[in-house]
Structure 1
Amino acid sequence: MREKEELVMVTPGEVLGKASELKAGRGAYVATHNNTVYASLTGRRSLNPPPSDSPDKVPPPSDSPDKRPTVEVTGHKAHGAVPVPGSIVIARVAKVMARMASADIMCVGSKSVREKFSGIIRHQDIRATEIDKVDMHSSFRPGDIVRASILSLGDARAYYLSTAKNELGVVSAESTAGATMVPISWTEMQCPLTGQIEQRKVAKV
């Protein structure tokens, strides 16, 4: 059966199995809230079973596989960076709506992505305090570059992103005059050419 499963194609967010039965390898991750293994990219699912002579009663060393087979998803560009929950990413804001902003993930950590990954920053995930006072259009604008953390893989094959920490938020923004703005507070950036101030959820440098 495992040999047949190797030909199965999966997409991001697809359930691969329970973490009690499978270990998450490359291209997969475990959601701790329901102990389920999910695919984090589009590709071919494969199982890598442990050696058949592995002792069941002796705990395996930390650097060797345990009794559970490892499930991996191998994409067409398997060596590219893949976002997983907890990752810090750099993304470009594509669209800002009343309750959320959509963004295209460009980097995971210091590595650029080779596949297209979409992210959503929801109203409640922009900052940690005074959430009811958050205004999406005063936090982000299309074209802004933001640093965010991955919360989870959400709906519509897009990752939920959070900027609810001091070091997360807008790291680069362009003013209407076409200049790169300078942060002057936690919530404001200023155009060096015109002096115009715009509202943003600024990341602490």
Structure 2
Amino acid sequence: TQPPKLCSVGDCNQGTGVYQRHGYIYSSLAGYVMRKNEGEEVTGINSRFAKVHILYVGSTPLKDRFRGTIRKEDVRESEKDKVDIYKSFRPGDIVLAKVISLGDVQSTYLLTTAENELGVVVAHSEAGAQMIPISWREMQCPQTNAKEFRKVARVQPEYLEA
């Protein structure tokens, strides 16, 4: 029998334990896929800012999708002129941030990660594995040992789920 068809390639991002064939993703092992635009936080990046979807306020999930922007100057507290957005966030990262103001006329919120406790809390490597923080500015893939730059959050206990 053929392994279960999980979804079309256009609807999902391929994770581990799955493979593509004829435009669909199939399970080859116990694996996972992530539906596009579900659970993503960082959605787009350029040299000046990162666009995000706000998913939670505190521990309360939001029913409607709200958009936010993290500007280059709001990534960290010091050496703001040396911040490289591409070395701070990547699309798909889950970020812990604070709202600093209502942004432009497009109804986006301006967010900051300029505290040690704020920044990337979940990131996946190119291999699809959840990365492990190894410093305030790097995460590492546990499968390939590849290192990637991020603005890593020093997560406080009140933000961790039991």
Whether the TM-score (by the shorter chain) exceeds 0.5 is: yes
Q: Is the 8 A contact 1:91 1:147 kept in 2?
A: no
Q: Does 1:186 align with 2:136?
A: yes
Q: Per-residue deviation at 1:91?
A: 7.0
* RMSD (Å), alpha carbons: 1.2
In the other structure, the counterpart of 1:196 is 146
Q: Is the 8 A contact 2:120 2:153 kept in 1?
A: yes
Q: Per-residue deviation at 1:135?
A: 0.1
The correspondence of residues 89-168 of structure 1 with structure 2, limited to 5 A, is 92-155=41-104, 156-168=106-118
SS in 1 for 2:81: helix
Q: Deviations over 1:156-197 (max 9, x none)?
A: 210000000000000000000000000000000000000000
Q: Is the 8 A contact 1:146 1:168 kept in 2?
A: yes
Q: Is the 8 A contact 2:41 2:92 kept in 1?
A: yes
Q: Is the 8 A contact 1:91 1:107 kept in 2?
A: no
Q: Per-residue deviation at 1:116?
A: 1.3
Q: Deviations over 1:22-46 (max 9, x none)?
A: xxxxxxxxxxxxxxxxxxxxxxxxx
Mapped to 2, the partners of 1:147 and 1:128 lie a distance apart of: 15
Q: Which runs of 5+ in 1 are unaligned?
A: 1-89
Q: Per-residue deviation at 1:112?
A: 0.2
Mapped to 1, the partners of 2:129 and 2:65 lie a distance apart of: 27
Q: Is the 8 A contact 1:152 1:161 kept in 2?
A: yes
Q: Per-residue deviation at 1:147?
A: 0.1
SS in 1 for 2:41: strand
Mapped to 2, the partners of 1:109 and 1:170 lie a distance apart of: 16
Q: Deviations over 1:51-110 (max 9, x none)?
A: xxxxxxxxxxxxxxxxxxxxxxxxxxxxxxxxxxxxxxx970000111000000000000
Q: Using the aligned pairs only, state the percent identity.
A: 54
Q: Is the 8 A contact 1:91 1:146 kept in 2?
A: no
TM-score, normalization by structure 1: 0.56
Mapped to 1, the partners of 2:60 and 2:50 lie a distance apart of: 23
Mapped to 2, the partners of 1:158 and 1:202 lie a distance apart of: 23
Q: Is the 8 A contact 2:138 2:148 kept in 1?
A: yes
Mapped to 1, the partners of 2:114 and 2:77 lie a distance apart of: 5
Q: Per-residue deviation at 1:115?
A: 1.0
Mapped to 2, the partners of 1:203 and 1:138 lie a distance apart of: 14
One-letter amino acid of the structure 2 residue matched with residue 193 of structure 1: Q
Mapped to 2, the partners of 1:110 and 1:202 lie a distance apart of: 20
